[in-house]
Structure 1
Amino acid sequence: MAASSTRRATPESPGAKRSRLRLIVVQALVLALFGTLLARLWYVQVLDGELYQAKAASQSVRDIVVQPQRGLIVDAQGRPLVANRTAWVVAVDRSVLGQMDDAAADVLLDRVATAVGLERPALDGALLDCGDAGSVEGTCWNGSPYQPVPIAVDVDREVALAIREQPEDYPAVVVDEQTVRDYPAPYGVNAAHLLGYLSPITESELDAAEDADDASVNGASVVGRAGIEQEYDAWLRGMPGYRRVAVDSMGQVIGDDSEIEATPGDTLVTSIDAQVQSVVEQQLASTIETARNTRDTVTGRNYVADSGAVVVMEADTGRIVAMASQPTYDPGVWTGGISQTDLDRLYSEEAGTPLLSRATQGQFAPGSTWKPFMTAGALENGYTTDSRLDCSSSLRVGNRDFKNYESGAYGSIGFAKALEVSCNTFFYRIGYDFWATYGSDVEDVDAFDPLVDEAKEWGFGTATGVDLPGEASGRIADRAWKREYYEAQKDFYCGLAEEDGNDFQHRFAREFCVEGYAYRAGDAVNFSIGQGDTIVTPLQLADAYAALANGGTLYEPRVAKAVVSPDGELVREIAPEVKATVDVPSDVVDYIDGALQGVTREGTMAWRMGGFPLDDVVVRSKTGSAEVYGKQSTSWVASYSDDYVVVMMVSQGGTGSGTSGPAVRAIWESLYGVEGDTVVPTAAAIPGVVAGEELPTFTPDGSILPPARDPQEGS
């Protein structure tokens, strides 16, 4: 019988069963994790691949600012007053410098400082980011941290090339050419106070630009600081470009990526004529030099002639044709950064504060140039052209004798003769009469004063509105001003009055403490001849005389004429702006006009105008010699024709016609082409005598064609 057997399955133990389940769970988890990872990789690389690729690229690409070429500034005939030129710039790449050990970096910086002529502390300061400890605004770096930091601009070509040709000795040093401001100086003009200068943007200015979403400036920008460079900075600065560069993980540039080109700034066409500006500057400088070598018979020493100004303005538009101020400075001194020595000089009182424009910011007693406006006030308030007053040698007011300065005694005369001979006592009597009639109550701040009201009518006491920054407003020393001044100063003077002492200062302090607010007869008579505390700027005076010339229209003077794009298209025309119309009867203006012709022909200016063709070129004049306590007199000549106003002032320079007369005549000769006693129209500085509204001719590439007739050609 065959035998068979059956094997029975062994039951699975509970522990083995649990182990098998755990393995299955782990396998499932691993598969799930791999699935999640694969899904995420697909999401990142396929679905959002472009987004993450862009983000990765942005971490290795940096923007470097490409500064735009600043716009030109040209005169009315297209001659460049401010242009651009290329200059060698030495910069330090701080990202490369940071890879060097401290000792090597220190040796390198010493070597660079020596090569470019910098003190080491100055170089270190230039490499600091603005806002870092020890940084100084104006010298620290405001720009991109990925951009080489300029440490020397306008470096000599030999020095720049020597550094460039020795890269092994100058790692981290970049030498390149950039554009900087240049001053071609046609006819040798300076025009520093008109043109202004540039300096690096400040942190606060950069913050303000960012708040305003102004992309035209950046941390490495330079901006206008004075003159028309500041006033029209937004037009001149252009728009920066950007060069994108690839950098490695350490921030070092490894290649270019792309570039957005910078947009050059617009060209500013001014109403300045370079030839007239040259004549004006030369005449002012030579007049001051002559005055300093001339004996002052009053003080017994030479005239100090510490400053001066000339303004030439179109009478019918208010456009500035020339404007000069002394002392002056070289505008090119700011190019590439100014030294502390030069900066100290520009602000130095000992050097005459050259940065101060005497034409728009200097304030001086106007002296007898004030009298035409006082004549208008008198003729509108009771006096007539037939009125006669005594031109005595002096007039006693209170306990003081007020004397004539430029004239002697002429007896009983009218307004025309009083202007012609510049009789002070004639106008003293008018000032005293109005004071006695309306304002003898010295405490009445609101008393009517016809002469004060008239001065305000002609724009005195307020800024003219010229398109130049920092203009002074002058001052009308009326009752309100005297009260305000007293309230501001009384504590000081009353304290001084309590001290022992019998010198002038202490005696004045005691008097001022008691009644310094009082507007007395002496104040009124001084006001009538432009003396005392009333002050004007030469530009204010020129603006008022322009209103006399054109029949009563006060303009806001303008230096700029038009803005033209880099491709030669007119962007903006800057038209003359009327500030106000003087409410003076035309017959009064005509009478004053005739009287001022008499000043030129027979009066105080006549001896300086002998032989001048006054029948062909009618010039009206008023001279002035303003007395200032403790100083020599200020020389003034204010004059005008049908076309122009010419005003000249020399502080501590002597009499009006004696000091300024020859220069004013020379300027008139230049304007009209006067040779001897003949007018030669083709010799006039400006073709056609007056420039008119025409602009220079611009070609499609933005270049400027030369004037149709330039007197400088062939010289």
Structure 2
Amino acid sequence: MTKSPETGRIPRVQIRLVIMQVLVFSMLCTLGGRLWYLQIRNGGEYYDEAKSNHVQRVVQPAVRGSILDARGVALADNETRLVVSASRTALMKMKDKGKGVLTRLAGVLDMTPQEVMQKVRVCDSKTPPPCWNGSPYQPIPVTAEATTQQALQIRERPEEYPGITAEPTAVRRYPAPGGARTAQALGYLSPVTDEEIQKAKDTDSPHLRSDQVGRSGIERTYDKYLRGKAEVTSYEVDNLGRVMGQTKSDRGVAGSTLVTSIDARVQAVAEFELQQAMKTVRHETDNITGRKYEADSGAVVVMEAKTGRVVAMASQPDYDPNAWVGGISGKDYAKLTSKNSNYPLLNRAIQGQAPAGSIFKVVSASAAVRAGYPFDNKYECSSSYNMGGRSFANFESKGHGPITLGEALKFSCNTVFYALGHKEWQRDGGLKPKKDAHDWFYRTAREFGLGAVTGIDLPNEVTGRIPDRQWKKNFWKANKDAWCKQGKKGGTYVEQIAYENCLEGNQLKAFDSINFAIGQGDVLVTPIQMATAYAAISNGGTLFNPTIGKAVISPDGKRVEVIKPTPHGRLPVDAKTLGDLDKGLRMVVEPGGTAAWRFVGWPLDKVPMRAKTGTAQVYGKQTTSWLATYTDDFVIVMTISQGGTGSGASGPAVRNIYNAMYGFDMEGNYDAATALLPKPEAKLPAVQPDGTIVAPEIKPYVPPSPEESEPPALAGPPATRPAGHD
């Protein structure tokens, strides 16, 4: 500072400026310090508080649409239950990760702490089920079967159960009308995963974290329609959770109703008769192994012949889909996935694969005609067929002399088809195939729809297998190293086969084609494939995509989207051959045919019946029973693994299903009051003005007594009945 020369003092103006500078500097320092404190020292804390002033979405899940049978009977619907849920987010903020709360909750719900904790742990690669495979940020159901008293105890003491809610919620229900579970066809639900949320993010059907989605069956196929749209309300809240205002509200829409072609009454009959057939055959002795038949699994398909619509589909072993509602328990999950249970989650109607046996002969007969062998020519049905020192026996080593192809179907004569398959293999060049080889038998099988999915509206259908030349080459490349390692010349049967396959497993040999001609060897088919093929024979040659979904109805009932039958091809034979096949299959149920003893008393003049029996051999197992049948309107195909012969094991069950559908007894008497479905259901259920559908009453199936289910000509001591036929 500069002093005044006159007074020797510092001017007041300068003092004031200095003071002002000091004050400004102090203020800047204070402001800078405060900014440092707010942004650096406590920046994270204030950032979190600011972030807490955000928009909170409240999601009210949509009511899932019902699944109805063809007459409007509910196969899957919803009911209100008291659901107890846990917020994993809230639990993880606690010092003990919510262990204390969950332990107290277990006591209220009469569960063990371990059961409750398993329910709320998140599934990952290191955590085996039971666990939660949905989003960890949504409430996790602990039980959907809480009592009113349990719910009140939780809600009245929220301080003891932080993060726990108990409230009425609409949950899925599978009522099994008339005893028809329809388990594998319906499927089940489970929570959506984060991966699925991301995958569906930009689609026309995005997921919310609260969604339950179909995991199998038609619950999965038609999930987009059934799920509906959740109601989402957005609120602006502060860091204390106080609502500051509503910002947005998206109205929810209930899921649509799916009407299926399933008839719950026929479904109940099919399930019961399949299960009963398996129980019955387990008491019978297998003449080959000397053991009781195991009858470890089976399936039956009832289909409309002219449309491909599925009327009933049963698979054994089955399960109760209600086990998945509210989260599956560890005990139930083990039952459904363990080897001892024989995997009841599998739908063996579309996923069960086995050699076709003699029901395949309609394919071979068609192939023979295409190859130039007239249907009505005579072919030798000897007791065995010899090729290169090997003998291929006829069933029960019986011969019938010169017969037509129609009669070969009637008697299920293997040797006729052995010879035809062998001759065609030779004509195509044998081990050195011609460039223009016709491969009629293999080509015809594929054109019958075998070796490929049928296109049914169910997930995870398998293709089966047609072991043609290309398949042999591909299979050999994939397995050559293992065969060469396992194979041993002159060793056990398995070792010898591996040895031979190692050297020449890529070649289509004579015995491959001989076995193929009767549906044996490496052939694999599914019941739905054979039902589709036999339906095509019945309807004049059209192969339809089998369907279960029949129509989708909007929640208000104003929009109805009919799911029309869709053909995917035609059988590779002309009308004359179809007519010849039809006549041959009719002879199977007439006197002398392999299925005649199971259709004694059937009114053939009123409802023409056609059938083909089959007994397929599987290495290391007992024979598999097959029976394929059709009328003018319906097809029924049944199979029982390790169940014996086609007519012996499956015959009674198939006959009882037809009797129930058409209203016949074992003597052919008709009762309109008992007929469940003499003609396919053409109409959709009537929709009321409010969008609801009134379901007709359905009564449980009452099976016929053993006396009533015995064919009249076969009554008497068991010794007088025919021996098991193919």
TM range (shorter): 0.7 to 0.9
Report the counterpart of residue 597 of structure 1 in structure 2.
586
Letter paired with 1:574: I
Query: Could you tell me which residue of structure 1 aligns to residue 345 of structure 2?
Result: 355
> What is the CA deviation profile of residues 439-480 of structure 1, one whole-angstrom value per residue up to 9, with x for unaligned ones?
312566973211111111111111000000000111111111
Superimposed CA distance per residue, residues 532-589 of structure 1 (whole angstroms, 9 cap, x where no aligned partner): 1111000000000011001110000000001111111234211001111223110110
1:342 paired residue number: 332
Q: 8 Å contact 1:407–1:423 — kept in the other structure?
A: no
Residue 74 (structure 1) aligned with residue 88 (structure 2): no
Shift of 1:19: 4.0
- The offset of 1:182, in angstroms, is 0.6
* Residue matched to 1:520: 509
Instruction: Decide whether aligned partners of structure 1 residues 651 and 119 sit closer, same or farther in structure 2, where only a CA change above 3 A counts.
Output: same
Pairs within 5 Å for 1:231-310: 231-244=221-234, 249-251=239-241, 260-310=250-300
Within the alignment, does 1:113 sit opposite 2:106 as a pair?
yes
Tell me how far 1:139 sits from its aligned partner: 3.5
Q: Tell whether 2:452 aligns with 1:462.
A: yes
Report the CA distance between 1:228 and its aligned residue: 0.1
Which residues in structure 2 correspond to 1:125-524 (within 5 Å)?
139-140=131-132, 143=135, 145=137, 148-167=139-158, 169-212=160-203, 214-215=205-206, 217-244=207-234, 249-251=239-241, 260-405=250-395, 408-442=398-432, 447-497=437-487, 502-524=491-513
Supply the AA of the counterpart residue of 1:90: V
In structure 1, distance between residues paired with 2:82 and 2:344: 29
1:529 aligns with 2:522: no
The SS at the match of 1:624 is strand
Question: Given that residues 141 and 326 in structure 2 are in contact (C-alpha distance below 8 angstroms), is that contact kept between their aligned partners in structure 1?
Answer: no
Provide, for residues 597-627 of structure 1, a one-character-per-residue CA deviation record: whole Å limited to 9, x for no partner: 1111121111111111111000111111111
Please say which structure displays the higher CA radius of gyration: 1
The structure-2 alpha-carbon separation of the partners of 1:714 and 1:221, relative to structure 1 and needing over 3 Å to count, comes to closer
Task: Quote the Cα distance in structure 2 between the aligned partners of 1:445 and 1:631.
Answer: 38
5 Å-filtered alignment, 1:687-702, equals: 689-692=679-682, 694-702=683-691
Change (3 A) 1:253 1:394: farther
Q: Distance in 2 between matches of 1:99 and 1:16?
A: 64
Provide the secondary structure at the position in 1 that maps to 2:278: helix
SS where residue 313 of structure 2 aligns? Answer: strand
Give the counterpart of 1:65 among 59, 62, 87.
Answer: 59
Q: Which amino acid aligns with 1:83?
A: D
Q: Which residue of 2 aligns with 1:559?
A: 548
In structure 1, the partner of 2:79 is 85
SS of alignment partner, residue 272 of structure 2: helix
The equivalent of 1:550 in structure 2 is 539
TM-score, normalising length: structure 2: 0.86
Q: Is the 8 A contact 2:189 2:212 kept in 1?
A: yes
* TM-score under structure 1 length normalisation: 0.87
Counterpart CA distance in 2 for 1:556 and 1:187 is 28
Alpha-carbon distance in 2 for matches of 1:432, 1:107 = 74
Shift of 1:701: 2.5
CA RMSD of aligned residues (A): 3.2
Aligned partners of 1:95, 1:295: CA distance in 2, in Å?
59
- In the alignment, the residues of structure 2 paired with residue 454 and residue 373 of structure 1 have an alpha-carbon distance, to the nearest angstrom, of 7
Q: How far off its partner does 1:156 sit?
A: 3.7
Q: Residue 342 of structure 1: SS of its match in structure 2?
A: helix
Say if 2:118 and 2:130, in contact at 8 Å, map to a contact too: no
Partners of 2:698 and 2:118 lie apart in 1 by: 49
Match of 1:51 in 2: none
**1:672: Cα distance to partner?**
1.4
CA contact 1:126–1:140 (8 Å) conserved in 2: yes
For the residue of structure 2 that corresponds to 1:108, the secondary structure is helix
Contact 1:130 1:203 in 2 (8 A): no
Q: For 1:391-435, what per-residue CA distance to the aligned partner results, in whole angstroms no more than 9, with x for missing partners? A: 111011122110111571111111111111111011111111111
Q: Which residue of 1 aligns with 2:611?
A: 621
Distance 1:588 1:11 in 2: 136
Q: Deviations over 1:615-640 (max 9, x none)?
A: 10001111111111221111111011
SS of 1:210's partner is coil
Structure 1 residues 266 and 89: alpha-carbon distance in aligned structure 2, compared to 1, 3 A threshold:
same
3-state SS of paired residue (1:674): coil
Q: CA 1:142 to 1:491, structure 2 compared with 1: closer, same or farther past 3 Å?
A: closer
**1:18 corresponds to which residue?**
14
CA distance in 2, matches of 1:595, 1:337: 52
Contact 1:308-1:325 at 8 Å conserved across structures: yes
Q: Does the CA contact (< 8 Å) of 2:278 and 2:643 recur in 1?
A: yes
1:201 positional shift: 1.2
Q: CA deviation at 1:17?
A: 3.4
1:257-291 CA-to-partner distances (Å, cap 9, x unmatched) read 98654321111000000001011111100000001
Task: Tell me the CA shift for residue 230 of structure 1.
Answer: 0.5
Query: What's the offset of the Cα at 1:383?
Result: 1.0
Once residues 213 and 588 of structure 1 are traced to their aligned partners in structure 2, the CA distance between those partners, rounded to angstroms, is 48
* Identical counterparts, % of pairs: 42
Match of 2:706 in 1: none
Conserved 8 A contact 2:130-2:330: no
Q: 1:77 to 1:494 in 2, by over 3 A?
A: same
2:146 alignment partner AA: V
